[in-house]
Amino acid sequence: MTRSPPASEPSTTRPTPSFSRRPGPAGRPTRTSRSSRVSWRARLTPRSAWRSGSSRPSSSTRRCRSSATAISSGFGRSATRPRASTRRPSASASTTCGSRNNVMGRAIAVVSLALLALTALDAEAQKKGGALRVGILGEPPSLDVHWTTATITETLGNHIYEGLYTLDATNRPIPMLAESHTVSKDNLVYTFKLRQGVKFHNGKEMTSDDVVASLARWGKQSVYGKALFAQVADWKTLDKYTVEMKLKEKSAIVLISLAVPNNFGAIYPKEIAEKFAPEVKATEFVGTGPFKLAEWKPDQYIRMVRFDEYRPRNEKPNGFGGGKTAYVDEIRWQPVPEVATRVAQVETSELDFADDLNLDAYDRLKKNPNLKAIVAIGNGWLIAVLNKKEGLMTSQKLRQAWQAAIDIEPIMKNVAGGHREFYRMDSSLIMAEIAAWHTKLSGLPWNERNRDKAKRLLQEAGYKKEPVRFMTTQEYKWMYDFALLTKQQLEDVGFVIDLQVVDWATLVKRRNNSKEYDAFTTGIGAIYDPAHVNFLTASWPGWTTDEDILKLQADMAREVDPKKRMAMWEQQTRQVYEKVPIIRYGDLAGLRAIRNTTKGFDEKMGRVRFTNVWVEK
């Protein structure tokens, strides 16, 4: 859909739920009563046949009655114990009784299954409908997920778009738009079979032409796409539903690059992928996802509606993949820049869900019986990125002095508002939630709290009290808090810190200019593979150009043996703590709030997704 000025704002009133799809008198919905259900179940029993009129049952039917009643008793009428009899039924009577009971049992089993199916369908129908109102920090810079790494774009974009692969609940790649893939014996050719019958929001079927055009664009713009396509020799269609990727060399990152949820390889219609150059953000947003963009009213809301032609996978939901269902009629994403307002609106039910809340609201929110405060573990870790391109922080000893001086736990405790459940002390450069790459190395110079060492390193660096320009923002309270406490600790050992507080948009702009700063605050989210560490590249702000670091990054992208890759990653972690391109603080959880009427939200995945979520009526 093209972003354009919208018409009038649609009503947020939720439709009144109906009891069933069966119309009553004058079209009114009616409930199916329990008594009516029992009555048509009862017609299946032999007892109902002779009590309703006609004739008295035969003797063979009477002999069958006790066992038949026992079978039917599960539907409401209790079984009566048959009279004791000394007469032994004849063989023919026993055969007749058995055959009738078998028929009756099968009939009852069929009806039971039908009832269960109807109940399940009714439950599904009851979940559908309504609007979900979500409070977010602000406007996304775009909904073009190829173009930006912005978290808000990722969050919204994953409801509109899908890629060939995604991540399961253990953060491993699984197919999404791909049906399957094969790899040649020399590991240089990947052949992908696509799912057939998948529709874009414009009604067109997805084919290999769309896939090749989309990933060619993504490969020139995305952090992950660039890493992958640096290894690609040829990328082409084989037939309508088959694509082929030929590599220059063996690669360990093909599937994980296609599966990452941020800045990901979303499949666009070919005409859109080719219309917008990689460096130009798209203004038409058409995907294959369960929701489609209906309206974008700047600074008021972004409205997505259910895509009725969506083709879900057949598997059960699994992480970001598997079967996905759009239960709500629409999702309304409402930018609410003031955190206090987001908190108040979710409390008063003006919002169903609010994200990016200040941690000092936690005690208040968890006492509210109408909502749940969610501690979003695995949200990310705090980082000071140091400018290695020019300025004071080109000195490795000065960077090491910063690392030696800081006492991380009191900083994290303060940022978390004193709540221990919101922070975690960890030196690994990949968080514990990504278990395959989480490290537990001893002897690292992390959280040393060594003031004497810091002072000695300042002297060795020849530091002469020049101001260190440290950029932060108050738009993210946690950033400002950790910058302020860092400033105090660094000044205690002899640094002079010029704390420059700017709005987030200015920080993002200025961090791309090496003349503007010496360090800046930010957060690092989930890193799913050690060859995808953006702060260890020469192109990302901070500009890590150390040859040893870059070589090991390239080697890890080529090495396909998991054990060898892990050994390399541990070596790289030690490199980072020696050369100090960044300062790693602790892990910080996020705070979200969700109304009790919003059901099915997966808290474990860390990222915000509203597929398989419904609003209780």
CA–CA separation, 61 vs 49, rounded Å?
A: 11
pLDDT tens per residue across span 219-275: 999 989 999 999 999 999 999 999 999 999 999 999 999 999 999 999 999 999 999
- Cβ–Cβ < 8 Å for 142, 153: yes
CA nearest 217: which of 296, 178, 273, 259? 273
- Cβ–Cβ < 8 Å for 392, 398: yes
**What are 286's two structure tokens?**
């058409």
CA–CA separation, 569 vs 20, rounded Å?
A: 57
SS (H, E, C) 360-393: HHHHHHHCCCCEEEEEECCCCEEEEEECCCCCHH
Q: Does this chain's domain 134-377+592-615 share its CATH topology with 381-588?
A: no
Q: For residue 447, report the phi and psi dihedrals to the nearest 5 degrees.
A: 55, 45
Question: What's 307's DSSP letter?
Answer: -
Q: Tell me which of 184 and 45 has the higher pLDDT.
A: 184
- Cβ–Cβ < 8 Å for 516, 379: no
Taking the domains of the chain in order of start, what are their residue ranges?
134-377+592-615, 381-588
Q: For residue 496, report the phi and psi dihedrals to the nearest 5 degrees.
A: -115, 120
pLDDT tens per residue across span 156-180: 999 999 999 999 999 999 999 999 9
C-beta atoms surrounding 465 within 10 Å: 9
State the fold for domain 134-377+592-615. Answer: D-Maltodextrin-Binding Protein; domain 2 (3.40.190)
Please classify residue 452 by burial: count the beta carbons closer than 10 Å to its beta carbon, then call 0-12 exposed, 13-18 middle and 19+ buried.
exposed
Dihedral of alpha carbons 150, 151, 154, 157, sign: negative
Overall pTM > 0.85:
no
Question: What's 431's DSSP letter?
Answer: -
CA nearest 447: which of 409, 416, 484, 473? 409
CA–CA separation, 132 vs 74, rounded Å?
A: 41
Give the pLDDT score at 114: 58
What residues contact residue 19 under an 8 Å CB cut-off, 6+ apart?
29, 30, 31
Please classify residue 334 by burial: count the beta carbons closer than 10 Å to its beta carbon, then call 0-12 exposed, 13-18 middle and 19+ buried.
buried
Q: How far is CA 551 from CA 548, 572, 609, in A?
A: 5, 10, 36
Question: What's 245's DSSP letter?
Answer: E
Helical H segments across 75-135, by residue range: 91-127
What value does the mean pLDDT take over residues 114-138? 75
C-beta atoms surrounding 278 within 10 Å: 17
CA–CA separation, 617 vs 598, rounded Å?
A: 10
N-terminal to C-terminal alpha carbon distance within the chain: 30
Instruction: State which of 83-87, 99-103, 563-567, 602-606 shows the largest mean pLDDT.
Output: 563-567
**What are 254's two structure tokens?**
């093909």
What value does the mean pLDDT take over residues 114-128? 61
Give the pLDDT score at 605: 83
- Average pLDDT over all residues of the chain: 86
CA–CA separation, 489 vs 474, rounded Å?
A: 19
Please classify residue 339 by burial: count the beta carbons closer than 10 Å to its beta carbon, then call 0-12 exposed, 13-18 middle and 19+ buried.
buried
Q: At what angle do helices 562-579 and 547-558 cross, to 10 degrees?
A: 160
Question: Does residue 84 have a pLDDT over 80?
Answer: no
Q: For residue 119, report the phi and psi dihedrals to the nearest 5 degrees.
A: -60, -45
User: What is the band of 505 on the pLDDT scale with cuts at 50, 70, 90?
Assistant: confident
Question: Does residue 99 have a pLDDT over 60?
Answer: no
Q: Which CATH architecture has domain 381-588?
A: Roll (3.10)
pLDDT tens per residue across span 514-552: 999 999 999 999 999 999 999 999 989 999 999 999 999
**Residue 477: which H helix or E strand, with range?**
helix 477-492
Dihedral of alpha carbons 266, 272, 278, 284, sign: negative
Give the pLDDT score at 115: 58
